[in-house]
Amino acid sequence: MAKTEVKDLLDAGVHFGHLTRKWNPNMAPYIYMERNGIHILNLYKTAAKLEEANEALKKIAASGRKILFVATKKQAKDIVADKAGNANMPYITERWPGGMLTNFVTIRKAVKKMASIDRMKQDGTFNTLSKKERLQVDRLRAKLEKNLGSISDMSRLPAALFIVDTTREHIAVKEAQKLNIPIFAMVDTNSDPREIDYVIPSNDDASKSIEKIMSSVSEAIIEGLAERKSGKDDDDAPAEVKAPKAKRGKAVAVASSEEE
């Protein structure tokens, strides 16, 4: 996993915070200075926190569990959908469905409804409906796909959340806290870092900044998935070949259980 350099963060504008009058005092430890009425983040702390978060995310991915990405703001949604998709992780980029975590059973029913509509189309049942009914079903399917399509493979609660802009996604934060699900997040100077388990102090408004952080995070997750796949391949190997790696696999399992 390549270490993110401070210069790269600087070039991406990760250090730009909000106007000083909009700041959250709890972000003071991560602020380097004030310039022209804007807070500037300490990128050395950002780099350290990003590396810490990446290590934890890598372990979660290596354990085979899912990380749910949440970003509904315009400048973040396409980037998050792309990076999370590349890492084969679920994401919410439209509207956060109330009860997404705390009422997960109901959300799963909606996802199953989407699957049942697909089966109707495959087995011909859909064609037996009237034109009006087919239109209604198509509209329902499109709505479900837009809001829940990206989590259709998420059969259980995620092991962690990764959020861009915790102030905007405060409902997601509260639900995760209620269920003791670890929260990783890009936290700008106007947000409260006390609510987040893994704080990445960063500019959560600029697309270049979001792209930089998300690229680093997704790379760590992909590495974790590769380690898991490698471990599975080792299980299929002769005993004398996989024996040296058995100890390492156990260490990964222990580290994962500690994350929980």
Going 13 to 7 to 72 to 24, the CA torsion angle's sign is: negative
Cα–Cα distance between 60 and 65 in angstroms, integer?
6
Identify which of 96-105, 159-168, 242-251 has the greatest average pLDDT.
159-168
The pLDDT of residue 231 is above 50: yes
The whole-chain average pLDDT of the chain stands at 87
Beta-carbon contacts of 226 under 8 Å, excluding residues fewer than 6 positions away, are none
148 band by pLDDT with thresholds 50, 70 and 90: confident
pLDDT tens digits for range 176-222: 999 999 999 999 999 999 999 999 999 999 999 999 999 999 999 99
Q: CB–CB of 30/45 below 8 Å?
A: yes
Report strand pairing: 67-70 vs 38-41.
unpaired
Chain segment 23-80, per-residue pLDDT in tens = 999 999 999 999 999 999 999 999 999 999 999 999 999 999 999 999 999 999 999 9
Q: Where are the alpha helices (DSSP H) in the chain?
A: 6-11, 43-62, 74-86, 104-123, 131-148, 170-178, 207-235, 239-259
From 120-134, 195-209, 240-254, the region with the lowest mean pLDDT:
240-254
